[in-house]
Protein backbone atom coordinates (compact mmCIF):
# COMPACT_ATOMS: atom_id res chain seq x y z
CA UNK A 1 0.00 0.00 0.00
CA UNK A 2 1.34 3.44 -0.93
CA UNK A 3 0.28 6.34 1.30
CA UNK A 4 1.09 9.93 0.33
CA UNK A 5 0.34 13.05 2.37
CA UNK A 6 -1.24 15.73 0.18
CA UNK A 7 -0.86 19.27 1.56
CA UNK A 8 -4.17 21.17 1.37
CA UNK A 9 -4.20 24.96 1.34
CA UNK A 10 -6.42 26.65 3.93
CA UNK A 11 -8.29 29.83 3.00
CA UNK A 12 -9.98 32.01 5.55
CA UNK A 13 -10.51 35.21 7.42
CA UNK A 14 -12.28 36.33 10.61
CA UNK A 15 -15.44 34.43 9.51
CA UNK A 16 -13.71 31.04 9.50
CA UNK A 17 -11.65 28.76 7.28
CA UNK A 18 -12.19 26.38 4.39
CA UNK A 19 -10.27 23.94 2.25
CA UNK A 20 -11.45 23.05 -1.24
CA UNK A 21 -10.81 19.69 -2.89
CA UNK A 22 -10.57 19.93 -6.68
CA UNK A 23 -10.01 17.13 -9.15
CA UNK A 24 -6.91 17.86 -11.22
CA UNK A 25 -5.74 20.63 -8.87
CA UNK A 26 -5.04 19.33 -5.37
CA UNK A 27 -6.63 15.89 -5.86
CA UNK A 28 -4.43 14.00 -8.36
CA UNK A 29 -7.11 11.58 -9.58
CA UNK A 30 -10.67 11.52 -10.86
CA UNK A 31 -13.33 11.88 -8.13
CA UNK A 32 -16.03 9.23 -8.55
CA UNK A 33 -17.71 9.09 -5.14
CA UNK A 34 -17.61 10.94 -1.79
CA UNK A 35 -18.34 9.37 1.61
CA UNK A 36 -18.88 11.21 4.91
CA UNK A 37 -18.39 9.11 8.03
CA UNK A 38 -19.62 10.61 11.28
CA UNK A 39 -20.79 9.73 14.78
CA UNK A 40 -18.38 6.80 14.90
CA UNK A 41 -17.89 5.91 18.54
CA UNK A 42 -14.43 5.87 20.06
CA UNK A 43 -12.71 2.52 19.76
CA UNK A 44 -14.90 1.35 16.84
CA UNK A 45 -12.89 -0.06 13.93
CA UNK A 46 -14.18 0.29 10.38
CA UNK A 47 -13.16 -0.59 6.86
CA UNK A 48 -12.25 -4.28 6.99
CA UNK A 49 -12.58 -4.87 3.28
CA UNK A 50 -10.30 -4.44 0.26
CA UNK A 51 -10.41 -2.18 -2.78
CA UNK A 52 -7.82 -3.68 -5.10
CA UNK A 53 -7.69 -0.89 -7.70
CA UNK A 54 -8.60 2.37 -6.00
CA UNK A 55 -7.20 5.78 -5.10
CA UNK A 56 -8.64 7.49 -2.03
CA UNK A 57 -8.21 10.63 0.03
CA UNK A 58 -9.14 10.73 3.69
CA UNK A 59 -9.78 14.00 5.52
CA UNK A 60 -10.14 13.76 9.30
CA UNK A 61 -12.38 16.75 10.07
CA UNK A 62 -12.43 16.00 13.78
CA UNK A 63 -10.61 13.31 15.67
CA UNK A 64 -8.11 11.01 14.03
CA UNK A 65 -7.70 7.87 11.96
CA UNK A 66 -4.94 5.35 11.26
Residues labelled catalytic: 49
Could you give the CA distance from residue 52 to residue 43 in angstroms, rounded to a whole number?
A: 26
Question: Is 8:26 a contact under the CB 8 Å cutoff?
Answer: yes
Question: Is 21:27 a contact under the CB 8 Å cutoff?
Answer: yes
Amino acid sequence: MHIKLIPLQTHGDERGALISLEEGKNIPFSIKRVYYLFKTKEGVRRGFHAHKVLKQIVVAVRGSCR
